[in-house]
Chains A and B, each alone.
Chain A
Amino acid sequence: MEAVAEATDMHTEETGADDSLGSKYLTFTLGDETYGVDILKVREIIGIMDITQVPQTSGFVEGVINLRGKVIPVVDLRAKFRLEHKAHDQQTCIIVVDVGELMAIIVDRVQQVDDIPSENIEPAPSLGSAADTGLILGMGKVGDDVKMLLDIDRVLTTEELVETLGTAS
């Protein structure tokens, strides 16, 4: 957590007015894919903890957690991206992000913070209608790896969390 905070500070100093995609990204994995989230959006990384299920919610909503007295919705990113369900293990992490309000995502494993300059970021490829590439800001290249940089605001806010009763049946 401290490392993250430090990184955030450094980032603000370095880039300042630069509004291109080049930035520091917290990278994490879902299965064999690696994703990145703008470090400025990240508030906290915590280990998996008890999650209270909330009825009438969309399938990707895992429930709510108590973050020091705040009740925060948790989204299972695997479910959100329609990847198959995987049992939580020691490496499963909850990343708390600020998308206007605090929300949390469940990821398989948190990797590291990568500094990805804008020249190393390529636009998201068009993969047809199969993948919703609108949620991806771009593809970041770090060495030989390619990381999908997520537009976390869109990932978490474009879809309703609550299944309205009308649509359910």
Chain B
Amino acid sequence: MSDKQTTSCKTADLISKLEEAVGSVDKDHLSVLAKMHGWCEALVGLTGPDGEQPSAEQCERARSTGSLLESVILGEAENPEEVIASIAKTIASLAGGDAGGGNAVAVDDEAPAGASSKSCSQVEADLANIFEEEPVAQEDSTSLPPEVTGQTEDVAQGDTGIAPETSRPSATAAGHSYESEPLKIDASEIEFVQAFTEEADEHLESIEAAVLGVEQAPEDTEKINDLFRPFHTIKGMAGFLNLRDIGSLTHEVETLIDQARKGDRKVTPGLIDLIFEVVDILKTQIGAITAYTQDPTGDEIPQPPISKMVTKLREVVAGGDEPQGVNPPAGGSGAKVGENLVEQRSVPKEVVDFALERQENDKPDKKTGEILVDMKAATPKQVSQAIRAQKEPSKEPPASSKSAGDQSVRIDTAKLDALVDMVGELVIAQTQVGADSSVLSEEKLNKNVNQVTKIVRDVQEVAMAMRMIPIGATFQKMARLVRDVSRKAGKKVDLVISGEETELDKNVIQQIGDPLVHMVRNAVDHGVESPEERAAAGKPEGGTVHLSAFHHGGNIVIEIRDDGKGLDRDKLIAKGIERGIVKPGEELTDEQAYGLVFAAGFSTATKVTAISGRGVGMDVVKRNIEQLRGRVDITSELGKGSVFSIRLPLTLAIIDGMIVRVGKERFIIQTVTLEQSLRPQPEQITTVQHRGEVLNVRGRLIPLIQLGSLFGLTDRVDPCEAMVVIAQYEGGPVGLVVEELLGQQQVVIKSLGKRFEKLRGISGAAILGDGKIGLIIELSGLVGAHHNHPTEIIRQKKNMDLGDGDSGTSDTRDETVAGKTADRNGVAGNDPAVEEPLLA
């Protein structure tokens, strides 16, 4: 509000204007009230040569008057006439103080403080009276004992929206203090609270972005509105759920922002910092609540310093004490934001250069800071400090960025899953229609069916895409983790993030968080050396951890790359021998050696730190990733660093599979695990003690598993007359002997249900193109089953059921099974699957 026109006005002018106005004003004369409000504000903000500057006391009174006026304007005051009367008094005292100080305001400072300070305290008392009486009277709680009054006061606040809370009899200074209460969540409300925390997280994210916007264009009320709205939403939801602390906190900060919105308060660096602090506290609190809702058995929700913060905010709101802005670290005035960030050591220069390049190339309308924040290279707070250091008045007109309002709808994931399932069925049904001979023979019908096929494919794509969300938010959490861990470990580590726009299935994102935390933490704690070690090794003191996500061959790859000391092969193997995981003298490939880090209880850290080194975690990491049907590859170079790449399927609902035939059944092997398939030559096969077979592929010995006999579907087949599919699992390669490869296909994964949970080697089922079911092979379970039971269990069992007393020879058993199978096929009128065409 410190416009140029008003700054030229003298204090005296303003006061006389106020005097004039207050004499005739009525509570309904909003325009006059607003003008007065503006004058008060102008008075407070007046700076200038001697003679034009109001005294501190005048400022104080003008400010109080301003907030009183505001309450009248907003209709928040219980008794506007009274308030106006009080305002009149204040203004009179303003004028009086002025007069008492002599003709020139300039001498006020030297003037004996007595008279003016006395009148000032009177005014304060008046003001306090007004604030004190109103909320209490409104709540009809005057008669209640003090403790009860204390509890209701927040309700009153929430309702009236009047900022300073002074209903405690203990008067002004202590009046702002706030006691937070232990948080209780009713069991019946947990569901709502969960929804709340989810939404609140999103709002907090938008707040961070909005704060930056406000800082860059403090005059732009639209930006302030952007900031105000999410806080308001959080407050509303918190109030509904009785989350009193969050309600109070957001209420106070909302008041503050509201003041800024109305022009009653300037957007100062201090204010921005304060809002960031509030955001941090809210994040902590909401995090704690989330944890509680997930596991309500915990006794108490840990409390961040909410009460302190609310008290602080109230003081600021009421007293108008400008919070002290954090002085940004040196950075020349007029310097560019990027340069400042580099000087502040917040962001490496390369990153800033990259951001600048990006700004030039594709985002000319975006600011360097925004791009950096987008890239997650800098936190909003860092950027805002850098902008402050810039000290350049923002010359650009307020950006006319319309808040586009995210065009999104929340949908229950169960519904999405059902949709994806149904679309899968649709695709299969559609394929069946397309393959029908009568369709193929009718040209026109064929054309139409093809058209429908295309549409169905599109529908499938869209359905799949609906489940996808960008991984950026997960990465951003890692940024914070790296900061914390590196600080704790006394290291300098920069996290460079790329590919945060890469989209993954929502379920994958949810489940990849924990493994990522472990791995990033390991990279910082184990991977990157201490600054001294790095200096000794001739590396820059600060280490870098790159976290990136990208598409690669139908998969998503998340890569964690550090420039630390790398994995020590020999040390790993030595440790493996010590733990009995590796036999002495055993030759390990690099892959196998690095894979040892995933063994349970394995840790190469010589000392256990608070952060890591206990060896718990990496085995869990591996298991989690495998549950997501992904895998982890490690490459490393001693002294240079390591790369952990997590390969994940795009979605959990669909896999790319190789369909193989065994007997009359078809199985699906995940393409991602496949290495090659071949028809071996007899000399490549070696039998081991007549119990197992090994395939020699260019010197590599690969154990073979007879899928058919292991599953009791067929007799042992000669690998040389069948196909061997070589697949990778965590224990190395394994060759599956199958009768035929039927081709590659994307399949929608179906669960076999909990009754089949204990199956080993089978992870699910898929409905194939002809509507029949194929089972999906899970390699590590399969190998486990193979190891435990080199002789097949199924045959024996089938015998038993069919009532053949003793288990006969393997030949007769197989016949029985085959016979049973044949019966069934005869009846169903279907040829055995051998000839079944695989849908394209």
| Residues in chain A within 8 A of chain B (CB atoms) | 48-60, 64-66, 68-73, 79, 82, 84-85, 87-90, 92, 101, 103, 160-165, 168-169
A68 to B761, CA, bound (A): 25
Contact of B801 among A48, A60, A70, A73 (CB under 8 A): A60
Q: Given the known A-B contacts A51-B824, A85-B802, A87-B823, are A161 and B793 also in contact in the complex, defined by CB atoms under 8 Å?
A: no
> Given A73-B756, A87-B823, list of 10 further CB < 8 A pairs?
A50-B828, A53-B713, A55-B711, A56-B762, A59-B801, A69-B750, A87-B826, A90-B827, A165-B760, A168-B789
A79 to B785, CA, bound (A): 25
Q: What are some 6 contacts across the A-B interface (CB < 8 A)? A: A49-B828, A55-B761, A73-B753, A162-B758, A162-B759, A165-B788
B113 interfacial contact with A, CB 8 Å: no
Q: Which residue of A lies closest to B765 (CB)?
A: A71
Contact of A50 among B425, B788, B830 (CB under 8 A): B830
A165 to B772, CA, bound (A): 27
Q: Which residues of B contact A69 (CB under 8 A)?
A: 421-422, 424-425, 750, 767
A128 → B minimal CB distance (Å)? 20
Q: Which residues of B contact A66 (CB under 8 A)?
A: 767, 771-773
Q: Which residues of B contact A49 (CB under 8 A)?
A: 828
Q: Which residues of A contact B756 (CB under 8 A)?
A: 54, 57, 64, 73, 161-162
Q: Which residue of B lies closest to A63 (CB)?
A: B773
B607 interfacial contact with A, CB 8 Å: no
A48 to B825, CA, bound (A): 10
Q: Which residue of B lies closest to A65 (CB)?
A: B773
Q: Which residues of B contact A101 (CB under 8 A)?
A: 753-755
Q: Which residue of B lies closest to A78 (CB)?
A: B801
B777 → A minimal CB distance (Å)? 11
List the 4 closest pairs (A to B, CB-CB), nearest first. Answer: A59-B801, A55-B711, A168-B793, A87-B823
Inter-subunit contact A169/B789 (CB<8 Å):
yes
Identify whether the interface residues of A are mostly helix, strand, loop, or mixed. loop
Q: Given the known A-B contacts A71-B753, A165-B760, are A88 and B827 also in contact in the complex, defined by CB atoms under 8 Å?
A: yes
Inter-subunit contact B801/A52 (CB<8 Å):
no
A11 to B665, CA, bound (A): 41
| Residues in chain B within 8 A of chain A (CB atoms) | 421-422, 424-425, 665, 710-713, 750-762, 765, 767, 771-775, 785, 788-789, 791, 793-794, 796-798, 800-803, 820-821, 823-824, 826-828, 830
Q: Which residue of A lies closest to B830 (CB)?
A: A50
Q: Which residues of B contact A84 (CB under 8 A)?
A: 802-803
A84 to B816, CA, bound (A): 13
A65 → B minimal CB distance (Å)? 7
* Total residue contacts A-B, CB cutoff 8 A: 127
Inter-subunit contact A55/B794 (CB<8 Å):
yes
Contact of B793 among A50, A56, A64, A87 (CB under 8 A): A56
Inter-subunit contact A56/B796 (CB<8 Å):
no
Inter-subunit contact B762/A54 (CB<8 Å):
yes
Inter-subunit contact A161/B755 (CB<8 Å):
yes
Q: Which residues of A contact B761 (CB under 8 A)?
A: 55-56
A160 to B800, CA, bound (A): 16
Q: Which residues of A contact B712 (CB under 8 A)?
A: 55
Inter-subunit contact A55/B713 (CB<8 Å):
yes
Inter-subunit contact B762/A55 (CB<8 Å):
yes
A69 to B417, CA, bound (A): 13
Q: Which residues of B contact A162 (CB under 8 A)?
A: 755-759
Inter-subunit contact A52/B793 (CB<8 Å):
no
A103 to B755, CA, bound (A): 10
Inter-subunit contact B773/A71 (CB<8 Å):
yes
Find the residue from B665, B797, B826 having the highest chain A CB count within 10 A: B797
A90 to B750, CA, bound (A): 30
A164 to B797, CA, bound (A): 12
A31 → B minimal CB distance (Å)? 14
Q: Which residue of B lies closest to A87 (CB)?
A: B823
Inter-subunit contact A54/B775 (CB<8 Å):
yes
B708 → A minimal CB distance (Å)? 10
Q: Which residues of A contact B823 (CB under 8 A)?
A: 87-88
Q: Which residues of A contact B713 (CB under 8 A)?
A: 53, 55
Contact of A54 among B425, B759, B803, B824 (CB under 8 A): B759
Inter-subunit contact A55/B767 (CB<8 Å):
no
Q: Which residue of A lies closest to B820 (CB)?
A: A85
A85 to B799, CA, bound (A): 11
Inter-subunit contact A52/B760 (CB<8 Å):
no
Find the residue from A56, A57, A70 having the highest chain B CB count within 10 A: A56
